[in-house]
Amino acid sequence: MDKFDRIFQLHNLLNSRRLPVSLDVIKEKLECSERTSWRIITQFKNHLGAPIEYDRARNGYRYVQDENGVFELPGLWFSPDELYALMVSHKLLTDLQPGLLGNHISPIKNRIEHLLTHQHAGNLELNHRVRIFQLASRPIDMQHFRMISGALLGRKQIRVLYHGRERDKTTERTVSPQRLVYYRSNWHLDAWCHLRNDLRNFSLDRLHPVEVFDDPAKDIADTDQDKHFADGYGIYAGEAKHTALLRFSSSAARWVADEEWHPEQKGKVQKDGGYELEIPYSDDRELIMDILKYGPDVKVIQPEDLKNKVLQKYRQAMEQYK
C-alpha cells in the first residue's frame, strides 16, 4: 500500500466515524508504523488541505466540519481498485487501434498519465506489465472512420461504396448508420441499408464513404436491432432458425465450459468428462470456423447439414497435404 492508498484509506476512515479515531486504529487500518501514520496525517493536512484536528479529550483524530460540510478529496480522485482499472484502461486506449482515435483520446490519455504519475508510483511499468494482443486486425482509413462516426453521431445518412469479400463485388449503398461495433479486433457498422430495405452489418475496412447527406438517418429501435443481430451467431445476423449440438472431448471441455459462444447457449457436462454445447445460429459460416479450430476435440452431432459442411472442410484440408 503506497502513500496515496493510505491517504484514501485515512479519508474513508475519518469520514465514516462519528467519534475521533485513535492513532492505534489508524496504524492498524493503514497497515503502517506510528511514524508513518504521523507522516501520512501531516501530508494529508499540508498538501491536500484536509481539516484534521487532534481531540485531546478523546485521544483521537477527526475532521473539522465547517459551513461547507464534510471534507471531500479535491479534484479527480480514485480508490486503489479504481486506479488499477484506470491503468489497464490507459493501456487499452493506447493499444486498441493505434492511430485510429489518437486525436480524440489524446487529451483523455494525457490526463490519465498525469493522474497515474502523481497518484501511483511506478505507473510507467504498465507498458511492460500489461500486454494486449489483437489478432487478424485490419487497417482502417482514418478519414473514412471520421466520416462514418460523424454521420452516426450526427444521425445523418451516408452514401458508400461497399466491396463484399464473399462475392468480390462493389455496390453503391445509401445507409442510415445505427451502431459502431468492435468485434474480434475489427470495426463493423450496423446500419439500415436503403437499397436492401433491411438492417445490414458492414465491415468498416470494406466501406468507402462518398458523401454524408443532410437527410436524417432512419432510426431503428434498439430492441429491433438486438433481435436482428443478437439471434444469429457471431457477426452474422438474422433470426436463429437452427441449433447446433457439439460434443467436446474431456480435454477441450475444461476450456469450452467456461466460454460463451452465444448468449442463448446451453451446456451440459457428460459422464466421461466431455461437454455438450447447444448453440442457436442463423448463418453457419463463423460457427464452422470456430468448430474447426478445435480439430479432433469436437464432433458435430447435429444438424446433419452442419456436420457435412464441417466434414467437407476437413476433407479439403487433407487434400492440401497429399
Measured CA to CA, the distance from residue 37 to residue 43 in angstroms comes to 10
pLDDT of residue 137: 77
Model confidence at 99: pLDDT above 60: no
* Residue 230 belongs to some domain of the structure: no
Model confidence at 111: pLDDT above 70: no
* Residue 137 belongs to some domain of the structure: no
Domain of residue 255, CATH code: 3.30.70
* 249 C-beta neighbours (distance < 10 Å), count: 19
* Residue 307 belongs to some domain of the structure: yes
| Predicted confidence (pLDDT) per residue in 236-257, tens digit | 767 788 999 999 999 999 999 9
Tell me how far CA of residue 63 lies from CA of 33, 45, 68, 74, in angstroms: 22, 11, 12, 15
Which positions ≥6 away from 319 have C-beta within 8 Å?
A: none
Residues 151 and 104 in one domain: no
* Residue 231 belongs to some domain of the structure: no
Domain of residue 201, CATH code: 2.30.30.530
* Residue 13 belongs to some domain of the structure: yes
Under 8 Å between Cβ of 233 and 284: yes
- Tell me which residue range forms the domain holding 51: 3-63
Q: Among 4-18, 31-45, 227-241, 272-286, which is the least confidently predicted range?
A: 227-241
Measured CA to CA, the distance from residue 287 to residue 236 in angstroms comes to 10
* Residue 228 belongs to some domain of the structure: no
Which positions ≥6 away from 140 have C-beta within 8 Å?
A: 97, 100, 187, 204, 205
Residues 116 and 170 in one domain: no
Number of domains in the chain: 4
Residue where a domain terminates, one of 185, 220, 255: 220
What are 161's strand-pairing partners?
Answer: 172, 208
Residues 305 and 264 in one domain: yes
Share of the chain above pLDDT 70, in %: 79
pLDDT of residue 121: 47
Model confidence at 271: pLDDT above 50: yes
- pLDDT grade, residue 182 (50/70/90)? confident
Model confidence at 177: pLDDT above 70: yes
* Residue 170 belongs to some domain of the structure: yes
Q: What is the pTM of this model?
A: 0.61
- pLDDT grade, residue 291 (50/70/90)? very high
Residue where a domain terminates, one of 220, 254, 288: 220
* 54 C-beta neighbours (distance < 10 Å), count: 12
Model confidence at 220: pLDDT above 50: yes
- H helix intervals, the chain: 3-16, 23-30, 34-48, 80-95, 102-119, 126-129, 142-154, 222-230, 250-256, 285-292, 304-319
Is pLDDT larger for residue 33 or for residue 68? Answer: 33
Residues 315 and 290 in one domain: yes
Q: Which residue has the cell 478529496?
A: 73
Helix (H) or strand (E) holding 120: none
Residues 115 and 150 in one domain: no
* C-alpha torsion angle, residues 89, 95, 101, 103 (rounded to 10): 90
* C-alpha torsion angle, residues 28, 30, 32, 38 (rounded to 10): -100
* Residue 283 belongs to some domain of the structure: yes
Provide the residue type at 63 as one letter: Y
